[in-house]
Structure 1
């Protein structure tokens, strides 16, 4: 497994996304992933599965030092006191001594960014989370956090895949040495069904999904967190690390539509 070094943490470049996984099924999926060698588990307060993930981690006997766990505070809990309450609840449910990476899940219209990041930076200073970051922040919001508040953020987690161009955002983040963690890296199944990716995969003895994941992982400063509940899917996603894409493949992928955004709730920021 390759790692990204960011703000004092080592972030495995391929992790397990757990959105919409619940209860025993979620616990089984995380136990399976840890057994296969995954060491990066991504969850959130809003997913309602932190208890199941905590149980899976406890049962796994994976050394805590080997494990990276990301969780997130929901956008209704961005007042300083609410952040602390949400953090405490997440930590308890996950049964951990500390969080590895704590993110603001989505920006909110009425948020007080300086107060939010003062609280988050205190949680880090107290050793309760090893690093802090954001998700779903556009360039304008990132500039405020990084250039005005001067918060040291370990990543911005955003939707990114072969069918969605994120070049301006990536360029800004690269200029500030901020990694991008790609969620929906398979475009909610669209990548796996794409004829161009299927043809590239056939050439390399790989699946279309593996091609889509390797396209992301071949980019500097990018990690990916595909959701996979079945062991065979988890294993297949790990296999993406062994796919080698050539210039012809990259040109074909560049020709795919790049405007297919899968996640765009009403409270999303104005995407750049």
Structure 2
């Protein structure tokens, strides 16, 4: 089974983003964070996501360093916080993030939110310079609404590779997914398990029971079916492995329809400065 999972995991988006990654939001204990990153990489994950605001880039870097994985195999992403989006701050704090992570380039650098010091031309101009210098392989945005994304694409000299947003069976975001598809922008889902809410939904429970798998695995398989990259947070080895094994779950048409037809909506991340507020 491990070989089958590894073979499935080799599939990446056209931008080279592995379809399943490890999210590290609210994984703030340095020792636990480093251990979860190490465990995930040694399980087979090759995508790790962090952010300046998570205050754990040092620990993520320690986990990467302790795992027996070549840097070239790893897709590593972090995000610029809303206070660090002026041109000079972008350049300076991106390098500081790389120092904390112990790497000399990033596979993806996101604008965390279109808020605070964000100015499309200034912020994305600075990111384009980092891209041209080879310090970042991809420019990404996060929590961008369709109109925010369209503006970013218009003003950014570098291609916008991905939009990272909250997305799960209880917040399916069809319009946003369609906009991203139209512009060839990958969608990366944070909180893909709705911070545990998917475990309590009857429709997802029924699909999970039919397949003899967890509700988490069903939700992650549904996202993969939609072409969406998922980065669930997991700290314990059991959860890391359970999410990993979602790569073996194949949903049929009726399973997908069941989830597509969920009417419940639950947005778990909703700060006042979000562009939809």
Please indicate the TM-score interval, normalised by the length of the shorter structure.
over 0.9
Secondary structure at the counterpart of residue 130 of structure 1: coil
Q: Structure 1 or 2: larger helix share? A: 2
**What's 1:235 paired with?**
241
Q: Would the aligned equivalents of 2:125 and 2:157 in 1 still touch at CA under 8 Å? A: no
CA distance in 2, matches of 1:111, 1:187: 27
- Is residue 2:259 matched to residue 1:253? yes
Residue 140 of structure 2: which of 116, 133, 136 is its match?
133
Shift of 1:108: 1.1
Shift of 1:97: 1.3
Kindly provide the CA deviation profile for residues 175-212 of structure 1, in whole angstroms up to 9, marking residues without a partner as x: 11101000010000001222221221111111111111
**What's 1:165 paired with?**
172
What 5-or-longer segments of structure 1 have no aligned partner? none
CA distance in 2, matches of 1:108, 1:205: 43
CA distance in 1, matches of 2:176, 2:158: 18
Secondary structure at the counterpart of residue 154 of structure 1: strand
Kindly provide the CA deviation profile for residues 230-253 of structure 1, in whole angstroms up to 9, marking residues without a partner as x: 111111111111112112212221
**What's 1:207 paired with?**
214
Q: Would the aligned equivalents of 2:78 and 2:110 in 1 still touch at CA under 8 Å? A: yes
Q: Would the aligned equivalents of 1:164 and 1:257 in 2 still touch at CA under 8 Å? A: no
**What's 1:79 paired with?**
86
What 5-or-longer segments of structure 2 have no aligned partner? 1-8
CA distance in 1, matches of 2:149, 2:97: 25
**What's 1:30 paired with?**
37
Q: Would the aligned equivalents of 2:82 and 2:117 in 1 still touch at CA under 8 Å? A: no
Residue 49 of structure 1: which of 44, 53, 56 is its match?
56
CA distance in 2, matches of 1:180, 1:157: 6
CA distance in 2, matches of 1:160, 1:268: 15
Report matched runs for 1:1-272 at 5 Å.
1=9, 2-6=11-15, 10-22=16-28, 23-108=30-115, 111-149=118-156, 151-220=158-227, 222-270=228-276
CA distance in 2, matches of 1:32, 1:232: 10
CA distance in 1, matches of 2:117, 2:61: 32
Equivalences, count: 267
Shift of 1:151: 4.1
Secondary structure at the counterpart of residue 134 of structure 2: coil
Q: Would the aligned equivalents of 2:113 and 2:142 in 1 still touch at CA under 8 Å? A: yes
Supply the RMSD in Å over aligned alpha carbons: 1.3
Kindly provide the CA deviation profile for residues 130-178 of structure 1, in whole angstroms up to 9, marking residues without a partner as x: 1111000111111111134454111000000001131111111101110
Secondary structure at the counterpart of residue 265 of structure 2: coil
Q: Structure 1 or 2: larger strand share? A: 1
Secondary structure at the counterpart of residue 138 of structure 2: strand
CA distance in 2, matches of 1:75, 1:202: 42
CA distance in 1, matches of 2:106, 2:259: 36
C-alpha distance 110-73 of structure 1, shift in aligned 2 (>3 A): closer
TM-score, structure 2 as length reference: 0.93
Shift of 1:260: 1.1
TM-score, structure 1 as length reference: 0.95
